[in-house]
Amino acid sequence: MKSTRRLVRGTTILLLAVCLAAIGCAPRASQYVREDVDFSFIRRVAVYPFYNLTQDVYAAQRVQSIFVTEVLANKDLEVIDRGATLAAVAEMKLPLDRILSPEQIKDLGKRLGAEGIFFGTIEEYGLDRTSHDPSEVVTSVYQLCETQTGGTIWSSQTRTDGSSLLRKFFGGGTAGIYDVARANVRAALETLF
Amino acid sequence: MKTLRHGTHLGLAAGLLLTALLSVPSAARADEPESVAIVFNLEGAPMPGLPPDAAVIRQAALEILTALTGASHRPAADRAGTEDLVRRHRVRSCAALPAAFLADLRSELGAETLLAVTVLADNGSLTATVRAIGTGQGRVEALGIAAATVSEGTWQRSLADALRRAMPPDAPGHRGGAPLLILSSRGIGLDAQAVRTATACLLAAAVADTNWSVIDPALAAGSALDTGRDPARLDKEGRAQLAERFGITWVVLPEVVSFGQVDGNANAAPDYLADGPAAGPRQVTDMTITLRLLDLRTGRIRAASSIMMPGGTPTGWFGVIHPMTELDQMREGAENLWPRFKHLLEDPTS
């Protein structure tokens, strides 16, 4: 009787482990959340143009498009239109290829009436051919800065690839870059919301 | 004498008839079919099968369009007069139309409707987009898109085919519903022509929904040109101007993103890609279409809806390949997305 229970428990644990391993687009994330900040204070946010470190010229814009939709899907935040942000960036002559200083973040927040500003850097985007089994990969760093002090209150570095055990078992190949990018954004935002 | 009297009677009768005929026009004009002004744009690049001189294609297209409007009992407005207004208002494409241009079409030529026609020559096919725009308020009354493949020596037939199928049915006249402004799409990873096609597909989906009175985005672009503002960077003043100009409190911002993901065709032999039946005019990649609702008073996005359209070549049972073009993909995406987005629209307008 005892041995049957042990067998059932063992099988269940094994099945759970296989299921977890088989889930596609498994992301790896490391994040930082400042503990002394009341996040409910942040209602209105802007998204600064993402910075691109990849070969694909459109990588940052593509991921940013997904990012904005996913932030909007979370009803807690109001997102300022990209056009208004770009107009403010142009008028304030802010750099798009460098990190903003706390003073610049404070000024931008004041101008847009935003309590927080999201920043993003796309470090890796596209097919990773270095491994034995090529798969789509997205690695990114997202940050949220509050505009009262210009300090970072949340940051997440996430790497997501399109390979999974299920896909390997059934010969499905890698997940598409859109699915991988969306999984990447979701994994990062899960650590915030 | 008899002959003279007879002649006098005939003369009187003819005079009365002439007077009657001359007096009729004021009443007949009311019954006369509305005239239609036609503006034509050719976009894209020269390609095999098309004459190198764009003026030849333009001339042929205008003749086909005049015949098509005539067949639907809506005579084309004076072409020379239309061209004169196009030059006077510096209308360079159907994507940006000044409001004064529409007003002059109406007042000077008596055109009730403007047919803004764009033909895109790209990768072996002609894609025609025909927008019927009311010259009174600048509303899109009807819209049609169609593509035809060009083969050697048959460009006239292909052009006529694309234009005939794109020609929308007679406009339903005044459309009810709240005004709706969909700005031109922002494209990421797509060329300008593909982005315009995407905007046209979204407009077609919105126009098919008779609950809305859709403002032509070319008017917003024309208004932005007049004021020197970039519609992609709407600051507080830009939003206020749009709200005042069109009497609206929100606009729809479309965004089309191509993910450049290529399916198994990437590994296919080049000759298959060039000549195979499934190759199509352009490789179709994964694409998302996103619609965002911008509140012009606050500058915040009130709602958003997105759809992902997979690329590649759909394969059915027994390996049967169903060729899909970028136009098919965009049209399907727009038609699927619009009903979802429509529900989000209902809240802000209520």
Q: ipTM of the assembly?
A: 0.79
Neighboring chain B residues of A54 at a CB cutoff of 8 Å: none
Distance from the A149 Cα atom to the nearest Cα atom in chain B, whole angstroms:
23
Stretch among B113-122, B165-174, B189-198, B283-292 having the lowest mean pLDDT: B165-174
Hey, are the CB atoms on B300 and A86 less than 8 Å from each other?
Answer: no
Q: Which of A61, A65, A79 sits opposite B301 (nearest CB)?
A: A79
B20-43: average pLDDT: 61
pLDDT higher for B349 or A179? Answer: A179
Q: Specify whether domain B176-350 bears CATH 3.40.50.10610.
A: yes
Quick one: A109 exposed, middle or buried, by C-beta within 10 A (0-12, 13-18, 19+)?
Answer: buried
- List of residues 6+ apart from B345 with CB closer than 8 A: B180, B212, B252, B293, B303
- What total number of domains does chain A contain? 1
CATH code, domain with A147: 3.40.50.10610
Is the pLDDT at B252 greater than 90, yes or no? yes
Confidence of residue B350 (pLDDT cuts 50, 70, 90): very low
Residues A125-150: pLDDT tens digits?
988 877 777 888 999 999 999 999 99
Angstrom distances, CA of residue A142 to CA of A69, B3, B233: 15, 103, 24
Q: What is the pLDDT at residue B261?
A: 47
* Structural domain span for residue A80: 2-190
Neighboring chain B residues of A69 at a CB cutoff of 8 Å: 290, 304, 306
Hey, are the CB atoms on A87 and B188 less than 8 Å from each other?
Answer: no
Q: What pTM was computed for the model?
A: 0.79
Stretch among B85-99, B214-228, B243-257 having the lowest mean pLDDT: B214-228
Q: What is the pLDDT at residue A80?
A: 94
- d(CA B338, CA B102) in angstroms, rounded, equals 28
Q: What is the pLDDT at residue B270?
A: 34
A87 touching chain B per CB within 8 A: yes
Distance from the B278 Cα atom to the nearest Cα atom in chain A, whole angstroms:
21
Is the pLDDT at A76 greater than 50, yes or no? yes
Residues A12-37: pLDDT tens digits?
655 554 554 444 556 677 777 777 77
Neighboring chain A residues of B290 at a CB cutoff of 8 Å: 65, 69
Confidence of residue A122 (pLDDT cuts 50, 70, 90): very high
Contact map slice: A 4-43 vs B, CB within 8 A: none
- d(CA B276, CA B272) in angstroms, rounded, equals 5
> What value does the mean pLDDT of chain B take?
80
> What value does the mean pLDDT of chain A take?
83
User: Which DSSP string do the residues of A129-190 spell out, in sequence order?
Assistant: -SSSS-EEEEEEEEEEEETTT--EEEEEEEEEES--HHHHHHT--PPPHHHHHHHHHHHHHH
Using DSSP's 3-state secondary structure scheme, residue B143 falls into strand
> Which residue is associated with the tokens 């789509």?
A136
pLDDT higher for A10 or B2? Answer: A10
Q: Are B215 and B178 in contact, with CB atoms under 8 Å apart?
A: no
Residues A152-178: pLDDT tens digits?
999 999 999 887 656 655 666 678 889
Hey, are the CB atoms on A87 and B235 less than 8 Å from each other?
Answer: yes
Contact map slice: B 253-282 vs A, CB within 8 A: 253, 255, 257, 259-261
Question: Which of B242, B257, B292 is the mutation pick for testing A, counting most A CBs within 10 A?
Answer: B257
Domain B33-174 identical in fold to domain B176-350: yes
What is the second-level CATH architecture of the domain B33-174? 3-Layer(aba) Sandwich (3.40)
| Alpha-carbon Rg for chain B in angstroms | 24
- d(CA B220, CA B99) in angstroms, rounded, equals 9
User: Which DSSP string do the residues of B281-337 spell out, in sequence order?
Assistant: SS----EEEEEEEEETTT-EEEEEEEEEE--S--B-GGG-B----HHHHHHHHHHHH
